[in-house]
Amino acid sequence: MTNSTAATTQIGATVTARVTQILSFGAFVRLDDGTEGYVRRREVTLSVNIDPREVLRVGQRIVAVVIEPARPGRRLELSLRRLAPDPWRSFTARLGDVIPVTVKHVYAEGILVEHVPGLDGFIPVDELLSGDTLAAPETLLHTGDRTEGVIIYLDQGNRRLLLSVRRWADRLAVADDVVDRLGGERRVELDALPGDSDFSSAFERPTPAPLGAPILIVEDQDEVRDSLMARLRNWGYEVVGAESAEQALARCAEQPFALAIIDLDMPIVNGLQLITWLAEQGHDLPIAVMSVPDLIAHEYDRLCDLGVALTYDKLYMEDDILVDLQRLAQGERPRLSSRRAVALPAEVVGLNALAATTRVERAAPARYRAGLDRLCESVDADQAVIFYLDHAARTVAIVAQSGNQPLDPTDLYRLPESPVKDVIVEGETLWRNRVMSDNVSRFANLLALLKFESCIGIPLEVASRVEHALFLFAGRADTFDAVRLREATAAALLFQSLLESQMLEERALAVGQLLVTGELATAISHEVSNKRLTLASQIANARTAVGHATDSGNEADLREVGRWLDEMSRTVDGLRATTWTLVQLKDARQEQPVDIFWALQQAERQIALEAQRSNVLVRLLAPPDLPPALANPNRLHYVFLNLMLNAIRWTRALPERKGRVRVSVELVDRDGTPWLRVRFADNGPGIHYNLWERVFDMGMTTHKGGSGLGLYIARSLVEAMGGRLYVAESLRLLGTTFVAELPAVRVL
């Protein structure tokens, strides 16, 4: 390895350095000899466009190669990417193999994808979906989406890779058909491979992402402005230039722009002043700035405050701008995030920790307990309790509590005549530090419940009514000062939010049950009507058979009467099973052993008509001798119904192929405890990985006309039963797998 001093003048030399600052467009480093260096964004990783903040950290030591020597006004240029091993040399896949990929760019001709950093491929538009009508790629996939494709062309020497999602989906469909019919598997041969010209023409020709308005370039140097404008026009974009801030303001007054790219270092009126003027005049458009990295780093916080969207290293901006134009075309509105750290008061830091504790995904009682535990630790309390006062019945109940002192429920009857009632009814905060010596008579009934010396009581307003109160207790006098009171008051707002959320969840559950009932009404009505018609026919046939048997006394005629009576009995049983769903949605039974496969069969029966109408095949798979799940039967039924109905709707989004929903169950071990894992896999369009968690948010829906409650309620119910519900996998254009995990009953 050469020394750092020589490295400042030798291109290709390897050096070590320490990261000193990381921004979205690159990283600043300092070599061992003190030389300042810079690694621009595209030189950090083989992926080229990865944000350096995702892979580097301040203080990290790196090994890099010199690609540009230091010059006056320019730092030493380094590259990490060029020291990384070439992924093409280790790529062993062959024609017909299936590989995972991530979308990098979306063009009219197809999709540029990445298998691993530095190894890109292309999916032509006609290899995305089956069917006669080709959908626009931008309506199917977006940057960052993950999917899989089968290799249909490979030229490692020229680094060319062509993939097909369509053929992989077709192969999966054929394999499913074979499994359904024969119970075996079968290899599907690929179609004829395209020639070199098909691949290179689609892969190398960029297509502009529609922005809906021109791009404004503000640059005082004619040659820089003109060359950038020419480049953008060659890519197919409409571009307007301005040589000064005044001219840029005049251009913005004449017409709207999709993006303004502004040089920071302009004479007379610089870029920062221009951005300020644009904001003052009400021009709301994305703004990108271009300059040398040092100037951008120096002004970075001001750029954040001004709402700047993007920053570009002036010498290398063409490498990154196409990606950002794609993001803007897809409706994104990027914005720089400030790197400044703000020192928070200690009580605010504690409150943030408490908020993080109560946001953990768990059932409501566990969230309350975790929050109260954290609050007790923060304010030195021995006990924390959330009380509920029923005004009509004049009774007090405990919603949640934390602490080691056991509370006797038989003493709660005293509390309607205690400070608990006073805090709730009067809506005023209570703060006492010497209860035993100064306020024994007033606190007598509360002291019968637990012993304490210091006390804080805070009313909690939920749904515009005060029926709850947060109380903190300590056995020592003078425990709670003004700072701890302020922290407890702030924490009370969080517990109000939790109570509001719980109330909302309960209402949403009731609405959700009605929604599912409504969605199934047509199917249930249809099934009931069919059974009523069948029963009427069977009764008529039985009457005829009875008449024949009465007239003839023939034993065969009597057997026929018995056969029709048996058929009528089975039909009546079917009617009972059909109405069972509506009955169990009202059932309030608690957790109990439930045959998981039986529960899935009952849910599948209710959605059978919906699946048939949607041309979706639903398959249930489970090994024998599964232990039962510990679950609430009606909650479990709701969850399974919702997940199956969702899967059916998703598969309808791709009418080019037959919809398939595969529901499978397996027994897994988690830390020595048996769990049942139920997988709901569909072959629909998939979900962008950024939405894997958001689909469970209240109001979030990926279906047109959806309520946004189904998955939110389903997850809440699964968590209330001690389980988990999550997206395990989703590949765009190939399908999504949801997983519900539930505790199993130990079989001895």
CA distance 541 to 556: 15
Q: Residue 259 has what pLDDT?
A: 92
pLDDT of residue 345: 47
Helices (H), ranges, 235-345 = 245-254, 271-280, 293-298, 300-305, 318-329
Judged on CB neighbours under 10 Å (0-12, 13-18, 19+), 102 is middle
CA 166/CA 130 separation, integer angstroms: 6
CA separation, residue 273 to residues 246, 262, 263, 268, 506 (Å):
11, 11, 11, 10, 53
Name the token pair of 326: 């794609």
DSSP letters of 423-465? HHHH---EEES-HHHH-TTTTHHHHTT---SEEEEEEEEETTE
Residue 588 pLDDT: 43
pLDDT score, position 183: 46
Nearest-angstrom CA–CA distance, 486 and 8? 57
| 165/148 Cα distance (integer angstroms) | 6
C-beta neighbour count of 361 within 10 angstroms: 14
Query: What per-residue confidence (pLDDT) applies to 590?
Result: 65
User: Which residues, in sequence order, are bridge partners of residue 497?
Assistant: none
Token code pair at residue 671: 């830390």
Q: What is the pLDDT of residue 735?
A: 93
Contact 115, 140 (CB under 8 A): no
For residue 60, the tally of other CB atoms under 10 A from its CB is 13
Q: Which residues pair with 593 in a beta bridge?
A: 630
Return the CA Rg of the chain: 34
Question: Residue 525: its pLDDT value, please?
Answer: 46
Nearest to 9 by CA among 30, 29, 35: 35
| 730 beta partners | 736
Give backbone dihedrals phi and psi of 595, rounded to 5 degrees, phi first.
-70, 110
Cα separation, 364 vs 719, whole angstroms: 9
- pLDDT, residue 394, reads 80
Beta-strand pair 110-116/98-107 = antiparallel
pLDDT of residue 567: 66
Place of tokens 């703004």: 287
Provide the Cα torsion 95, 98, 101, 104; round to 10°. 40
Structural contact between residues 645 and 607, judged by C-beta atoms closer than 8 angstroms = yes
Q: Which of 452, 454, 474 is nearest to 376 (CA)?
A: 474
Q: Which residues contact 92 (CB under 8 A, 6 or more apart)?
A: none
Order of strands, sheet of 659-670, starting from the edge strand that comes earlier in the sequence: 616-621, 659-670, 673-682, 735-743, 724-731
Q: Phi first, then psi: what are they for 678, rounded to 5°? A: -110, 120
Angle, to 10 degrees, between the axis of helix 271-280 and the axis of helix 245-254?
Answer: 30
Residues 6+ apart with CB under 8 A from 386: 368, 372, 398, 399, 400, 401, 460, 468, 469, 470, 471, 495, 499
Cβ-proximal residues to 438 (8 Å cutoff; 6+ apart), any chain: 432
Residues 6+ apart with CB under 8 A from 277: 245, 249
Residue type, 707: S
pLDDT, averaged per 10 consecutive residues of the chain (748 residues), comes to: 52 91 89 90 84 90 90 86 90 91 88 91 88 68 88 91 91 72 42 41 55 91 82 87 93 93 85 90 89 78 86 68 78 67 45 50 68 89 92 83 80 86 91 82 87 93 86 92 87 81 62 48 47 54 62 65 63 53 48 89 86 88 89 87 90 82 92 92 88 79 64 85 93 94 83
- Whole-angstrom Cα distance, residue 260 to residue 252? 9
Helix (H) or strand (E) holding 61: strand 61-68
Left (φ > 0), alpha (ψ -120 to 50) or beta: where does 400 sit? beta
Return the structure tokens found at 629: 């799940």
Q: What is the pLDDT of residue 187?
A: 38
Strand 239-242 and strand 215-218: the pairing is: parallel
Nearest to 680 by CA among 632, 619, 734: 619
pLDDT at 665: 94
